[in-house]
Amino acid sequence: MAKDHFKCLRCGITYELEADPDGKLKERICPKCKSNSVRKLKAQ
Partner 1 sequence: MEEDNIRVGVFVCECGMNIAGTVDCEAVKESAAKIPGVVVSVKNKYTCADPGQEEIKRLIREHNLNRIVVASCSPRMHESTFRNCISQAGVNPYLLEMANIREHCSWVHLHEKTAATEKAADIVGIAVAKAKLLQPVEETRIPVTHAALVIGGGVAGIQAALDLADSGHKVYLVEKQPSIGGIMAQLDKTFPTMDCSICVLGPKMMDAGKHRNIELMAYSEVVKVNGYIGNYKVTVNKKARFVDEKECNSCGECAVVCPVIVPDEFQHGFASRKAAYIPFPQAVPASHIIDMKNCLGNNPVRCNKCVGVCEKHCIDLNMEDKLVELNVGVIIVCTGMDVYDPRALDEYGYTRFHNVITTMEFERLICGGGPTQGNLLRPTDHKVPKRIGFIQCVGSRTVNRGNPYCSNVCCMNTIKDSLLIKEHYAGTEIYVFYMDIRAYGKGFEDLYRRSKEEGVHYIRGFPGEVTEDPVTRNIKVRVENTTTCLVENYELDMLVLSVGLQPDSELKKLSNLLNVSLTSDGFMMEAHPKLKPVDAPTPGIFFAGSVEAPKDIKDSVTQAGAAVSRSSIILNADIIKGDGVKAVIDNSKCTSCGVCAKVCPYNALEVDIKAKSGAKVIMAACAGCGACSAECRFDAITIRGFMDDQIMSQIDSALAVNPQNKIVSFLCNWCSYAASDVAGISRMQYPANNRFIRVMCSARVTEKFLWHAFELGAPLVLLSGCHIGDCHYITANHSTQKRADRMWDAMEKLGIRPERLQLEWISAAEGPRFVEIMQELEKLRGKVTKEEIEHTQKALAEREKEKAKAA
Asked if 22 and 2 count as a contact pair (C-beta separation under 8 A), the reply is no
What's the rounded Cα separation, in Å, for the pair 11 and 26?
A: 20
* x/- letters, 12..41, toward partner 1 (CB under 8 A): -------------xxxx----x-xxxxxx-
**Cβ 7 to partner 1 shortest distance, Å:** 9
Q: Which is nearer to partner 1, 14 or 37 (CB)?
A: 37
Residue ranges that bind partner 1, judged by CB under 8 A:
9-10, 25-28, 33, 35-40
